[in-house]
Amino acid sequence: MDMNKYLDIQPEIREALGAGRPVVALESTILSHGMPWPENLGFAAEVEEAVRAEGAVPATMALMGGRIKVGLGKEDLEVMCRAEDVGKVSRRDVPVYIATGKNGATTVATTMLIAEMAGIRVFATGGIGGVHRGGEVTMDISADLQELAHTSVAVVCAGAKQILDIGRTLEYLETMGVPVLGMGTGEFPAFYCRRSGHMLDYALRDEAEAAAILRAKWELGLNGGVLIANPIPEEYGMDFDEMEGVIRTALEAAEAAGVHGKEITPFLLAKVKDLTGGESLKSNIQLALNNARCAARIAVAYARG
């Protein structure tokens, strides 16, 4: 299949990949559906700079005008951040957006998919999707988990969003054979919070060890992703119990408004931001920058071989 028919890889990124230099994939849903305008535009520049400062090349993904974009210029980033007629694109939506030429922001699942197409091994995001609370009844389970099971990209995140059922999310990943590694922690973080009460099997010493594990996994022919849980920096972390109360209130509001499906996460994040007086947005920005730096260091170590 001729990928180039659909794939637009920015020259700088294409050159870096060709030379075996480190590249870090970044999603665009965090811009269009995860943060308000104009803070998101400032963040878009800041997160790319954080990757560059660690010696890697950033590759922000999006679907625009019937093309898969690997790397966005200033104008494209602004379109994503203004989020006017920008959809939220998961794996199932990709062919629809390509064929119709609509603009779409990439979720964790789609960013992984595109990263693998382009040959990018490391991806930094905020938090992954997972099994929603009550998911054992509703079957509301993020496509991110299936993508992690099948797509050979390492995902650096601050754990799963606390709006989810974290225990069931980890069980699902275990069933799917996805290694979940803590960056300097033996406990799975919960997005805004450094702790969730769920312990991990392995705490990484550093980014070089993470790169060695990725190399071993893929050289053994063990396809699929690796989840690297990188806790939010201590000074920006929020109290777990306090956040639980906020999230319960947000979930009740979503139920009352009849919000479900792919709209639920943006709705809940906006509600949490209101209920915390904007503190959650500050935390969201800081954890995403922290993940970008960590992912870049892993990509640099991986590129060294």
Domain of 28, CATH number, reads: 3.40.1790.10
How many C-beta atoms surround the C-beta of residue 99 within 10 A? 9
Please report which residue ranges of 196-263 form alpha helices under DSSP H: 207-219, 240-257
- pLDDT exceeds cutoff 80 at 210: yes
Q: What is the pLDDT of residue 3?
A: 60
Q: What is the mean pLDDT of residues 94-112?
A: 98
- Residue 39 lies in domain: 3-304
Going by C-alpha positions, the residue among 229, 219, 241 that lies closest to residue 178 is 229
Lowest mean pLDDT: which of 165-169, 236-240, 275-279?
A: 275-279
Per-residue pLDDT, 278: 83
Scanning 29-134, the segments in alpha helix (DSSP H) are 29-32, 39-53, 74-82, 94-100, 108-118
pLDDT for residue 298: 98
Mean per-residue pLDDT, 173-199: 96
- State the pLDDT at residue 251: 87
Q: For the chain, percent helix, then strand, then coil, each to nearest 5?
A: 50, 20, 30
Q: 3-20, pLDDT tens digit by residue?
A: 678 999 999 999 999 999
Residues 88, 161, 271, 273: which is the catalytic one? 161
Cβ-based burial of 9 (10 A; exposed 0-12, middle 13-18, buried ≥19): buried
Burial class (CB in 10 A: 0-12, 13-18, 19+), 32: buried
Give me the residues paired with residue 131 across strands.
Answer: 141
Cβ within 8 Å of residue 159, ≥6 positions away: 127, 128, 166, 188, 189, 190, 191, 196, 229, 231
| pLDDT surpassing 60 at residue 172 | yes
pLDDT reported for residue 2: 59
Which member of 27, 116, 147, 207 is catalytic? Answer: 27
Average pLDDT over residues 59-81: 98
Residue 128 has pLDDT above 70, yes or no: yes
pLDDT beyond 70 at 148: yes
27: annotated active-site residue:
yes
| CB contact at 8 A, 180 and 229 | yes
Q: Encode pLDDT of 222-260 as tens digits.
A: 999 999 999 999 999 999 999 999 989 998 999 899 988
pTM of the shown model: 0.94
CA pair distance 253, 271, nearest whole angstrom:
8
Query: Structural domain tally of the chain?
Result: 1
Report the distance separating Cα 66 and Cα 213, nearest Å: 36
Query: pLDDT-based confidence at 301, cuts 50/70/90?
Result: very high
Q: Across 31-45, 131-145, 269-283, which has the greatest mean pLDDT?
A: 31-45
Nearest residue to 125 (alpha-carbon basis) of 96, 94, 98, 147: 147
Q: What confidence score (pLDDT) does residue 185 get?
A: 97
Residue 135: pLDDT above 70? yes
Mean pLDDT of 43-68: 98
When pLDDT is averaged across residues 77-96 and rounded to a whole number, the result is 97
Would you tell me how many other CB atoms lie within 10 Å of the CB of residue 187? 17
161 is catalytic: yes
